[in-house]
Amino acid sequence: MTTLDKAPAEAPAPTAAPTPGSAPEPVATGPERKLKLGGVTREDVFTVLGALVGSLGLDWVLYERVLPFSGALGFLLCWYLLFLVGYYGLGRLQWGGLMVRERLVSVVAWSSGALVLGLIADQIGYVASRGYEAAQHGNFFTETMERTASLSPITSGGAVHAVVGSLEQLGLATLFAVPLGIAAAVFMSEVGGRMARPVRTLVEAMTALPSIVAGLFILGIVILTFGFDKSGFAASLALTVMMMPIVTRAAEVVIRLVPGTLREASYALGGSQWRTVWNVVLPTAKRGLVTAVVLGMARAVGETSPVLLTAGFTSRMNANPFEGHQISLPLYIWSYVKLPVDQMVARAFAAALTLMAVVLILFVTARILGGRAAGEMSRRQKRRMARAERQAAVPRPAAPSFGAAPVAASVAAPADPAVRPSAAAPFRSAVATGEH
């Protein structure tokens, strides 16, 4: 009999006494200690620390006493270079050349990562500290700028109209750009043919399109030629122009990652090309497609110049994107941060903070909505599967009768305490059987 065919309940209980004739069991001495694999040793830490401290001292001497330079940036840069040299020297004392080079590369990689992280943290921290002044007052998130003069105190006025405008414009742009972008990606990767290459070149060129040109394009076509007023809708069209190439490029990459064997399997089942794309390719690439959409949204929500030319400006709430001027958060920031009034600058920074929060919320939502990798189970699926496995562990005859079930089940499955069903299990299993 194969192990595949063996029911899980037949597995020997882990605590079973050793049967005569079996191999002698090792003497149990408490739980096993797990070996520590990888990680850092004391030497690693001290080498890095030593190099840091030593290079700092040398850097101070050079900068303050020897070299005719000054300035924080040069000091830090010089410190970093001296640190690398020092680390190499210290490493060379302990390890061989190959090993030191290996470690040097990893130190450079780590420090680059730390630099990027530091810069991001610095940006967010700076905006947060400047924006806190206005954002700490609740009115910033409930009021518009309609009744706020330029010298009004910070406790009046807010950016709720800009948040509404941003969300509406982004929503419309996503609505236009995502179907177009994914359709274009499907065309390039699935249909292909002679036209795929020019389309790809065009999309690549559009990725590099300066955003002000997108604004000018919509200004020229929609507003000047067709005579529409500046509005949130026109702004969302300009954002679509910015968003679409990014969605297309990213979507094409993830669609290409779907294994060709899956397409073959689908065709071998009699699937047409369209059904294969819809039922097999896109669901398999779902997680990557969500990332593509999120990338496009991230690009669009922060764009200022397309919006600048197409949305107009208003200090009032305008929830209708199709009529009248509508402001968005980037435009709000751009408009107020240049004013020579402290309260206005503070409001602009608070709006920047809000913009970051909006982006974060959008990202998290998108991840939750569609971020599961293909084949990974949702929590609901996992729960259902666990239930089904519990049910499978219960011997069938025990299931139907509810009253006698606990007794019957505990008699029938005494081998392993882990699989002994709870009193409610037979009832659940009966329900589940009805589902199938």
Partner 1 sequence: MTDAPMTDVPPSHGPGDPAETTITLPAVPAGADYVGHDGQQLLYPQDAHYQGYPEESVLAGLETREVSAWFGARKVLERVSLTMPAGEVTALIGPSGCGKSTYLRILNRMHEMVRGAALSGEVLLDGDDVYRPGRRPAEVRRRIGMVFQRPNPFPAMSIKDNVASGLKLAGIKVTRDEREHLVETSLRQAGLWDEVAGRLEAPGGSLSGGQQQRLCIARSLAVSPDILLMDEPCSALDPTSTRRVEETIAELRGQLTIVIVTHNMQQAQRVSQSCAFFLATHDTPGRIVEHGPTEQVFHHPRDQRTSDYVNGRFG
Instruction: Write out the residues near partner 1 by the rule CB under 8 A.
Output: 2-5, 259, 261-262, 264-272, 275-276, 279-280, 283-284, 286, 374-377, 381, 384-385, 388-389, 391-392, 436
Nearer to partner 1, 288 or 406 (CB): 288
Smallest distance, Å, CB 377 to partner 1? 6
Q: Cα(46)–Cα(205) distance, rounded to whole angstroms?
A: 50
H or E element at residue 78: helix 72-94
Closest of 199, 401, 169 to residue 302, by C-alpha = 169
State the number of CA atoms in the 13 A half-sphere of 197 facing the CB: 2
Choice between 92 and 396, CB closer to partner 1: 396
Q: Residue 164: in which H helix or E strand, if any?
A: helix 160-186
Residue 13 CB, shortest distance to partner 1, in Å, is: 21
Whole-angstrom distance, CA of residue 270 vs CA of residue 264: 10
Task: In angstroms, give the least distance from the CB of 435 to partner 1.
Answer: 9
- Least distance (Å) between residue 267 CB and partner 1: 6
Minimum distance from residue 123 beta carbon to partner 1 (Å): 37
Q: Name the residue nearer to partner 1 (CB basis): 149 or 373.
A: 373
- The minimum distance between CB 365 and partner 1, in angstroms, equals 21
Instruction: State both tokens at 296.
Output: 């496009």
Is the Cα dihedral 432, 433, 434, 436 positive or negative?
positive
Considering the complex, what minimum distance in angstroms separates the CB of residue 69 from partner 1?
58
Task: Tell me the C-alpha distance between 234 and 375, whole Å.
Answer: 40
C-alpha–C-alpha distance, residues 27 and 145, integer Å: 77
- Closest separation in Å from C-beta 259 to partner 1: 7
In whole angstroms, the minimum distance from the beta carbon of 273 to partner 1 comes to: 9
3-state secondary structure of 378: coil
Q: List Cα–Cα distances, 361 to 56, 154, 327, 398, in angstroms.
A: 41, 26, 20, 49
- Closest CB to partner 1 among residues 275, 316: 275
- Print burial letters for 85-95: b (CB count within 10 Å at least 16), e (below 16): ebbbebbeeee
3-state secondary structure 191-253: HCCCCHHHHHHHHHHHHCCCHHHHHHHHHHHHHHHCCCCCCHHHHHHHHHHHHHHHHHHHHHH
Shorter beta-carbon distance to partner 1: residue 264 or 342: 264
Are 323 and 304 within 8 A, CB to CB? no
Question: Closest distance between partner 1 and the C-beta of residue 6, in Å?
Answer: 11
Q: What distance in Å separates the CA atoms of residue 284 and residue 282, rounded to the nearest whole number?
A: 5
Which one, 174 or 284, has the nearer CB to partner 1?
A: 284
Return the number of the residue (13 or 269) whose C-beta is nearest partner 1: 269
Beta carbon nearer to partner 1, 64 or 389: 389
Alpha carbon distances (Å) from 406 to 7, 410, 425, 428, 430 = 21, 6, 9, 12, 13
Phi and psi of 416, rounded to 5°?
-130, 120
Looking at beta carbons only, is 2 or 15 nearer to partner 1?
2
Q: Which residue, 5 or 10, has its beta carbon nearer to partner 1?
A: 5
